[in-house]
Amino acid sequence: MRVVLLWSMADPGLYSNAPFDRLYAGIGHNNGNLAFVAGASVTLPDIVSILPWHTAPEQINAEADLVVLPCANQLGAHTDLGAMAELLGRIDVPVVALGLGAQTMSRDEDVTLTPGTAAWLDVLIANGRRFGRNNIYTRGPYATEQIRKLTGAEVVTGSCPSQFIELAPGLGRRIESRWQALDLPRSIAVAGGHQAWDKVRVIEQQLVAMMMDPVHPGVYVPQSMGDMIRISRDLLHEVEPDVRERIRRHLMPHYTPELFAAWCNAYARSFYDVPAWMDELRRHDLTIGPRYHGAALAIQAGRMACTITIDSRTEELCRQTDVPHLRAEDMTGPLTRSTLQKLIRFDGAAFDAGRQARAATYLAFLRENGLRPADGLVALAAETEATGAIAAE
């Protein structure tokens, strides 16, 4: 079985020297995308190559027996996938979508699709029916419901594949054990948001203040959009002056522009491969902020994390993967290490049981679609209380 994964960039190469625009395109304009691509890659041992989205269908048909699409929130008014629909319609082998999500302002609203994205979804569903397979694994119930309303198709309600990067059982118990052993969290990593997110601005400023501890320094990790990522690449000078000023006021309003530039170089970091990202997060007792995948990768690295949710989309994703989360509107009091420790709730045994159940759902979906799962995923889906015992760190 030759499995081809369609993604924007197979290998970032020597990304320390790479032009920003190439890196930015390669991550699909959000570093967090790397997390669910890694989850798909880890769990599918028969991937023989990673090809760009724009690869000619003739090449795909020649090189693949099956195509895997790692997905994000493609379903929404913000996308127009008409060109991809045309390419997808010319692929002659089965296509499987992993982690497809839908995006609106509120989960109380139905999603609206552009004609191009509606065509892409129709072609994807038609591919599954052609091969007699239910070929869409969604990010959660909302996406499943919206696909049903839009097309009448029944799909598999899943979650984000990023939760299956670390496949060793007992992950939740190990995280809880380490968290409970701390008097207080020391080093803190901030999963940075966006300068336009008023709802989380005061919260981020407090988190950044804790992150800058002189003895236990942390790190600020932006994921999107381009200007926020540039501050982590020593490219602040490339950001338009008015945008640069908004970013400064969002994060460090009491710093002069010169001091803020020094702050960016000292604390802001972005990552272009998942092992390096997880290795950094492993150094910190807590990762927290309004970005889901930054928190999810810390969990996969065996460290406590918490997503500060600012919309129902992110909250659903956290619930679907048992990533601890707090609503921004509920975080009204002063934030300290002590208050964070009290606010974050995590049951390691419940996390492990939930992940086992989700692994079983994912495993069944992969097998239904003719994909051989990684041995570690099979073992995780069969995890018992005995195999989930806390391993020595």
Check whether 60 has a pLDDT greater than 50: yes
- Are 163 and 300 a contacting pair, CB within 8 Å? yes
The sign of the dihedral angle between the CA atoms of 250, 272, 282, 329 is positive
pLDDT average, residue stretch 48-74:
95
Task: Dump pLDDT digits (tens) for 237-269.
Answer: 999 999 999 999 999 999 999 999 999 999 999
Tell whether 192 and 241 lie within a shared domain.
Answer: yes
Helix/strand/coil for 180: helix
Tell whether 176 and 215 lie within a shared domain.
Answer: yes
Please tell me the predicted confidence (pLDDT) of residue 11: 84
Kindly indicate the confidence band of residue 100, based on its pLDDT and cuts at 50, 70 and 90.
very high
Tell whether 339 and 212 lie within a shared domain.
Answer: yes
Domain count, the chain: 2
Residue 325, in any domain of the structure: yes
Check whether 31 has a pLDDT greater than 60: yes
Q: What would the two tokens of residue 254 be?
A: 């009491």
Kindly indicate the confidence band of residue 316, based on its pLDDT and cuts at 50, 70 and 90.
confident
Check whether 389 has a pLDDT greater than 60: no
Residue 317 domain boundaries: 171-346
Mean pLDDT of the chain, nearest integer = 94
pLDDT average, residue stretch 16-30:
93
Tell whether 149 and 32 lie within a shared domain.
Answer: yes
Check which CATH number belongs to the domain holding 205 and give it: 3.40.50
Tell whether 338 and 190 lie within a shared domain.
Answer: yes
Residue 393, in any domain of the structure: no
Please tell me the predicted confidence (pLDDT) of residue 387: 43
Task: Dump pLDDT digits (tens) for 118-172.
Answer: 999 999 999 999 999 999 999 999 999 999 999 999 999 999 999 999 999 999 9
Residue 386, in any domain of the structure: no
pLDDT average, residue stretch 45-69:
96
Tell whether 259 and 189 lie within a shared domain.
Answer: yes
Tell whether 82 and 188 lie within a shared domain.
Answer: no
Q: How far apart are CA 293 and CA 36, in angstroms?
A: 8
φ, ψ for residue 227, nearest 5 deg? -65, -35
Task: Dump pLDDT digits (tens) for 323-341.
Answer: 999 999 999 889 999 999 9
Please tell me the predicted confidence (pLDDT) of residue 383: 67
Residue 392, in any domain of the structure: no
Helix/strand/coil for 193: coil
Check whether 385 has a pLDDT greater than 50: no
Q: How far apart are CA 222 and CA 19, in angstroms?
A: 18
Percent of the chain with pLDDT over 70: 97
Q: Is the peptide bond before 225 cis (omega within 30 degrees of 0)?
A: yes
Tell whether 193 and 122 lie within a shared domain.
Answer: no
Residue 76, in any domain of the structure: yes
Tell whether 307 and 176 lie within a shared domain.
Answer: yes
Residue 389, in any domain of the structure: no
Please tell me the predicted confidence (pLDDT) of residue 12: 86
Tell whether 214 and 244 lie within a shared domain.
Answer: yes
Check whether 376 has a pLDDT greater than 90: yes
